[in-house]
Structure 1
């Protein structure tokens, strides 16, 4: 039944995308100067998880690569590579400049010097989950480099700007914003239909089952694709010729849990500490949670940073926040 498993992976970037023409056109226009050998405008892709931000960023940059001979690109997941050193190292990897760099002994300034000395082709850097950066001053360094064009991805603008100094904030506030909304049910069905057409045998799943998956995903393409992947796996393992409604019903919890676990796996150490405390203690108010957090980590962040971490985890449906101000409590979803 499964002809091409890659198509059912969330990181797969299709040759054609569904229902995001306006967003592609806006982002393409910000990068258009690169075709004339100039740097593009900084762009900020905003919207909920599973709305296609990462896919569209990679898709648009790849189309640019097809039209420009001299261009370098690099994708950085700032949730996984959140330190200044990690970000600079990833970017240098994109231009093959990591020779003789030792992760434990090479000073961060040496990485920056090496990047500032780059005088090659125009360089597009996608910084995904950019609000997760531990040291956001690296954005100012990148902004000042004439050959680098940045595509920034985040869920909420305030999560990014709340930790920027005024110098950097004033520059980034002029960047081109590309807003993304959750997918409607019919849009998710179209996305799933395309994935099924590319990755599964003919007539492996019907429109009724695709609608059930889309409805269960509630506008999140990552969850929808995860459910489809789990349904295809179940059908393949049992030798079924088609993905039935019963198979979809069985795949929904596993598909959701798979996406949830991947999110948990990429939590930074401070977010993971907060998650583990709530897992052990249950519902806590902000003061109780912060007190436990201070005891658990060696270098605790400020209350404000912890609130931002919790907001991020709430956005990704890991944490539930109830009440306001002093009556607010947090618990795992």
Structure 2
């Protein structure tokens, strides 16, 4: 049943991408300045979860590497590397300059100086979930490093720009905006057909079953691939030759739960504390939630930062925000 399990992972990078030709062209055109020894504009990719932003960024940078012999690159997930130190460390890691860095004792200023003094080949840094950075001044650091070029990824432009210092915002206003919308059902079916062709035995799943998966995923490729993965796993466990409608129906909640669990696992300690409070207590007003949060953690973040955390968790389907201003409440998804 499963010929190549890698293909059924949502972070698998295909050799060709479907239904994102315009976005690939726009990002490729932006980065093509490097092939002419020019400085490209910063690129900013936005859109809901599961619409291909990360895939397209990685895919396009890979294509750039086919044209340029000398180009460095690094992918950083700011949900995991969310402070300035960790981001700078990962950037230096991408060019092999962390062998003598000790995370507990090497000063931040030393990391920053190493980044600023970089004078090697063009260095493309993909900053995914960039709105999760606790200190956006690192974007200023990178913007002012001539040989480092940024590709930024976030769900919503407003979530990022509202938190930027003026000196950073003014520099990023000229960035190339590339907006991603949710996939249509037919587009998701095509994407799933490719995954099935590459990763499953021939004839393992029919187009009607794929359409059922795509419909359940509601435009989110990450969820769709998760459902397909669970259905294929179920079929393989039963030594079945094909994936049936029943298997798909049973895999829908499992696939969605798996995607949600991965999102929860990515939460950093303060976000996780907020999630646990809502999971344990249910619906809460912002004031009540913040009060319980300050009781639960050491060195709590500001109300504004907590609000940003909750917005991000809403994007990933972990919490539901309802109402506005004083009438707003949060509850677990």
Shorter-chain TM-score range: over 0.9
Q: TM-score, normalised by structure 1?
A: 0.99
- The answer as to whether partners of 1:188 and 1:224 remain within 8 angstroms in 2 is yes
Tell me the SS of whatever aligns to 2:23.
helix
1:20 counterpart residue number: 20
Unaligned runs of 5+ in 2: none
1:253 counterpart residue number: 253
- The answer as to whether partners of 1:310 and 1:319 remain within 8 angstroms in 2 is yes
Between 1:90-99 and 1:56-65, the stretch displaced more is 90-99
- 2:99 corresponds to 1:96: no
1:295 counterpart residue number: 295
1:148 counterpart residue number: 148
- The answer as to whether partners of 2:41 and 2:174 remain within 8 angstroms in 1 is no
1:265 counterpart residue number: 265
Tell me the SS of whatever aligns to 1:203.
coil
In 2: Cα distance, 1:59 partner to 1:13 partner: 7
Measure how far apart 1:37 and its partner are.
2.5
In 2: Cα distance, 1:316 partner to 1:219 partner: 13
RMSD (CA atoms): 0.8
2:7 counterpart residue number: 7
In 2: Cα distance, 1:316 partner to 1:117 partner: 37
Measure how far apart 1:309 and its partner are.
1.0
1:237 counterpart residue number: 237
Measure how far apart 1:311 and its partner are.
1.0
Unaligned runs of 5+ in 1: none
Tell me the SS of whatever aligns to 1:236.
helix
Tell me the SS of whatever aligns to 1:14.
coil
2:221 counterpart residue number: 221
Measure how far apart 1:21 and its partner are.
0.4
Tell me the SS of whatever aligns to 2:3.
coil
Between 1:288-297 and 1:33-42, the stretch displaced more is 33-42
Measure how far apart 1:324 and its partner are.
2.2
Return structure 1 stretches of 4+ with deviation > 6 angstroms: none
In 2: Cα distance, 1:287 partner to 1:49 partner: 28
Q: TM-score, normalised by structure 2?
A: 0.99
Measure how far apart 1:282 and its partner are.
1.2
Q: 1:84-124: per-residue Cα shift (whole Å, max 9, x none)?
A: 11111111111111110001111111111111222110000
In 2: Cα distance, 1:241 partner to 1:208 partner: 16
Between 1:207-216 and 1:295-304, the stretch displaced more is 295-304
In 1: Cα distance, 2:81 partner to 2:207 partner: 39
Q: 1:136-173: per-residue Cα shift (whole Å, max 9, x none)?
A: 10000000011011000000111111111111101111
Tell me the SS of whatever aligns to 1:149.
strand
In 2: Cα distance, 1:168 partner to 1:84 partner: 14
In 2: Cα distance, 1:274 partner to 1:170 partner: 32
Between 1:277-286 and 1:145-154, the stretch displaced more is 277-286
